[in-house]
Structure 1
Amino acid sequence: MQQLTLAQAFARTAPKKASATKAPEASSSNKPSGSKKPPSSTKPAVKVLFGANGPHANFDQFSVHPVTYNGWIYPTSQHLFQAFKFLGHRADIAEKIRTASTAEDAFNLARSNRAAARPDWLSINLAKMEEALSLKFSQHPHLQKELLSTGDSELYQDSLTDSFWGVGSDLLGRNELGRALERVRERLGGTPAPVRKILFCQNCHKKPRVGQSLYCGETCLRADISTIAPLCPQCRRRPQIGKLKYCGDTCRKAARG
Structure 2
Amino acid sequence: MKKLLFTIGDIHGEYDLLEEVLKAYDPKLHQLVLVGDLNDRGPKVKESLLKGKELVEQEQAVYIRGNHEQMLLNFVQNPQERFVNYMRNGGKETIESLMYKGIFSEHSPKEVAQLLKEKWADLLKFLDERPFYYEWNQYICVHAGVDFEKSDWHDTDNQDFIWIREPFHTGKNNTGKKIVFGHTVTSLLHQDEEDYSIWHSDGKFGIDGGGVFGGIIHGAIFNDKGIVKDIQAKNPREGWHSPSEKEIEALQNNQ
Shorter-chain TM-score tier: under 0.3
**Which structure shows the higher strand fraction?**
2
Structure with more contact order per residue of length (Cα contacts < 8 Å, sep ≥ 6): 2
Give the greater-gyration-radius structure (CA): 1
